[in-house]
Structure 1
Amino acid sequence: MAFLRLLVLLMLVFCLLSTHQDPDAPIGNLRMEPESGWLSWDLHGNVSEITCYVNSKREKQKAQNNRYCAVQSIPCSVTNYTVSVNQGPPLSTFSTWILYPEPEGTPKAAANLTCWIHDVHFLTCRWARGRAAPPDVRYRLYLENPLSHQMWECVHVEADPRGTQFQCRFDISALSDKLGPLARFLVNGSTSSGSRIPCSELISQLSPMEILTAPNITNSWCNQSYAIMRWTVQSNFNFHFKYEVQIQKGEDQAYSQEVERNSLWLYNPGTYTVKIRAKDASFNLPWGDWSAPQRFVCDGEKGTVLPAWLTSLLIALGMLLALGLVLLLCRRFSVRQRLLPPIPHLKDPISDNLQNERMMAWDPEQESREECPVAEVQVLGET
């Protein structure tokens, strides 16, 4: 049984090799051009259509002018690239393949590639020299946006005196709007003679890679009854935080509490010392650095005057309440006017004054139910 399995395996390998090296094949010299990102070949004769597949037909695309297929991001791991040629009837379909990069007999690529974001605007990557890499190897580090395929090179690669550990730092303050949530870190290399060194890569989300800086207390106020403080955390990739506040009142033992807002109220604070640290609320990651301890003395006399930001907030709330009260009164008056409209007053045509409620207007030409004699009065003059 084992012999039959071995025989079938050898037959399959023989068929693949014969297909791969067929001298009458419609295409030959299948190769990867890493500089341009093209999977290209030499075309022999006329074909109707050529299709490229990556890793056993998981991804496919039609060839450009039957000459090449564009590979946007060439992975550093060994990948199967297959090209299928439709020669049209009555000929059958032909296919050939390559592995790129070729499997290493001895590891020369950079090892233990790790990257992290720190101090808000800096991204540092560190790696070790491959075990079989030559002593004159020169590594290069690239940062790539996998969605837009934009790539930036880290220009200052540093090495330790023995040439075994390397690191490079990006200033990403100008790249934060060009980077997406996902990033690809690529390390490739070469020797002084021009020999290429296989690449290493790391693909990761940027938000969990960040080591958050310590929070900065921006506002604080206190008296003997209570204390108020607010703080901020700077980040280009994280926006939802959780905080741990450590408080020590006087000589008492320090205690900690977790909060989800960037503010805290303390009652009967007295003299206290506080420090704060933060972490992202979306990922289960370690806490960031503690802020420097800050000491506050709340003796009552200092706290008699509210801080400017709290005073402005209270004034704004008072104005909003006053405006709401005015609108409520106006609305109630308007509703009353609609439900109980006032009776209009008549105007005295002689004195040009408003009539009282006992006067009424009448028209001598209009018929009335009561027949009253009407006499004309002529005014000769004033006495």
Structure 2
Amino acid sequence: MWERQAAAWRNTALSRPSVSPLCALVMAILLSMLLVPSLCLTQDQWDKHLPTVEQNSSLNMKFDPKTTKLTWDCQENATYGECVLIHKEKGQIKKKVKDKECQCTFQDCSLHGGVTLTVEVNINQRRISETLVYLNPGGEGTAAQNFSCLIYNADFMNCTWAKGQAAPNDVQYFLYIRDSKKKIERECPHYLKDSGTHVGCHLQDLSGLTSYSYFLVNGTSQEAGIQFFDSVLLLKEIEQYNPPNNITVHCNESHCFIRWEKPRTRKTLSIREFQYQLDIQRQSNTGSSGNQLIVVSGDSGNKYSFPRPGFRAKHTVKIRTADARKAHWGAWSQPTEFDQCL
């Protein structure tokens, strides 16, 4: 059908040699349309032929690492889908964007490895996606390294780090700590130094810190830009517990019973969040002559019993504490002596 119609147009054009150039142009256009075998396009092909968003529709994205807030220019007649933060360790972290809001705030996460941020926007029924890459400014290898923190005696915390391998000699580091609600930020009140360079921090006041806290070590130098190091720590995972309190031992004709009280911790914890290790040693005239190492879960009622041996001997027991995952065993208690003879 398409071929016959095209032939008819050609015959008409040939039978009218006096046709004007304009008419010939119109007929050529119509002829080319008729020779197209199909005008059906797939959705992908159709999208490619839709008008693209002009360059002046750029969202002008900005990222504030201090507040972890991503902002962009509001566009007229725009609706927003979601923000995405791509983290090297955690992968994609997505946030829904509320209508008429041109921002989204992510939860605290480490940024020293750099992140990629993306926003999807719908403008006049056209979806556009823009990406912003945030990189850690400064020279490679200048950031503090081997960072760690430990809470002890329930009220104190030490954080330590080492000078970056590529850091210049005049580098100076500073530690800042922020609660997870981003309301309280403090600088280290008392630095530990090595040849004048800050390599640690001692804190005696942990009030105001929430379960998750954000730690930032940045640096300054006259010779080069210094990269920062940051970390988000769950405080109960870095607390080293004291030995349990009030250890007592009582023996009857068949068993010995050891009891104790859970130690004081920074935050009140349930008994299930503790583990205890008991070191029971039998004493002889020449010193220790045998010991037992026993792990007892916190839900045991803070007690342990064992059969009384059939011989007379003095024994000692000492106990130490860890969290339920046994990440950090604390120090041993002072030995408690008990005599198994009645």
Normalising TM by the smaller chain, what interval? 0.5 to 0.7
CA contact (8 A) 2:173 2:199 kept: no
- Is 1:188 paired with 2:217? yes
Change beyond 3 A, Cα 1:63–1:199: farther
- Is 1:24 paired with 2:55? yes
CA deviation after TM superposition for structure 1 residue 27, in Å:
2.9
For residues 302-341 of structure 1, the aligned pairs below 5 Å read none
TM norm structure 1: 0.57
- Is 1:288 paired with 2:330? yes
Change beyond 3 A, Cα 1:204–1:215: same
For residues 51-62 of structure 1, the aligned pairs below 5 Å read 51=81, 52-55=83-86, 58-62=93-97
CA contact (8 A) 2:276 2:295 kept: yes
SS in 1 for 2:110: coil
For residues 202-241 of structure 1, the aligned pairs below 5 Å read 202-221=231-250, 228-236=257-265, 239-241=273-275
Change beyond 3 A, Cα 1:38–1:196: farther
Letter of the aligned partner of 2:324 in structure 1?
Answer: S
Change beyond 3 A, Cα 1:246–1:184: same
Change beyond 3 A, Cα 1:179–1:28: closer
For structure 1, the residue ranges without an aligned partner over 5 or more in a row are 1-18, 301-383
Aligned residue number for residue 41 of structure 1: 72
Match of 1:142 among 162, 174, 177: 177
CA contact (8 A) 1:121 1:171 kept: yes
TM norm structure 2: 0.62
For residues 82-97 of structure 1, the aligned pairs below 5 Å read 82-89=118-125, 92-97=126-131
CA deviation after TM superposition for structure 1 residue 159, in Å:
3.3
Aligned residues: 270
Aligned residue number for residue 153 of structure 1: 186
Aligned residue number for residue 27 of structure 2: none
Letter of the aligned partner of 1:141 in structure 2?
Answer: Y
Aligned residue number for residue 200 of structure 2: 167
Task: Looking at secondary structure, tell me which structure has more strand per residue.
Answer: 2
In 2, the alpha carbon distance for the partners of 1:284 and 1:74 equals 25
SS in 2 for 1:169: strand
Letter of the aligned partner of 2:210 in structure 1?
Answer: L
CA deviation after TM superposition for structure 1 residue 112, in Å:
1.2
In 1, the alpha carbon distance for the partners of 2:119 and 2:305 equals 64
- Is 1:68 paired with 2:97? no
CA deviation after TM superposition for structure 1 residue 110, in Å:
2.1
CA deviation after TM superposition for structure 1 residue 149, in Å:
4.9
Match of 2:317 among 275, 295, 307: 275
Change beyond 3 A, Cα 1:277–1:208: farther
In 2, the alpha carbon distance for the partners of 1:54 and 1:282 equals 33
Change beyond 3 A, Cα 1:291–1:233: same
In 2, the alpha carbon distance for the partners of 1:212 and 1:128 equals 25
CA deviation after TM superposition for structure 1 residue 123, in Å:
2.7
CA contact (8 A) 1:249 1:270 kept: no
SS in 1 for 2:62: strand
Aligned residue number for residue 4 of structure 1: none
Aligned residue number for residue 322 of structure 1: none
SS in 2 for 1:25: helix
Change beyond 3 A, Cα 1:70–1:230: closer
CA deviation after TM superposition for structure 1 residue 79, in Å:
1.0
How much is the aligned-residue C-alpha RMSD, in angstroms? 3.9
In 2, the alpha carbon distance for the partners of 1:289 and 1:254 equals 21
Change beyond 3 A, Cα 1:240–1:212: same
Change beyond 3 A, Cα 1:197–1:204: same
CA deviation after TM superposition for structure 1 residue 190, in Å:
4.4
- Is 1:126 paired with 2:156? no
Over the matched positions of the two proteins, sequence identity in percent amounts to 20
Relative contact order, higher structure (CA 8 A, sep 6+): 2
SS in 2 for 1:160: strand
After superposing the two structures, state which structure 1 stretch, 117-126 or 97-106, moved more.
97-106
CA deviation after TM superposition for structure 1 residue 127, in Å:
1.2
For structure 2, the residue ranges without an aligned partner over 5 or more in a row are 1-51, 297-301
Superimposed CA distance per residue, residues 143-164 of structure 1 (whole angstroms, 9 cap, x where no aligned partner): 533xx45555353241323245
Letter of the aligned partner of 2:147 in structure 1?
Answer: L
- Is 1:107 paired with 2:141? yes
CA contact (8 A) 2:59 2:73 kept: yes
CA deviation after TM superposition for structure 1 residue 86, in Å:
1.9
Aligned residue number for residue 31 of structure 2: none
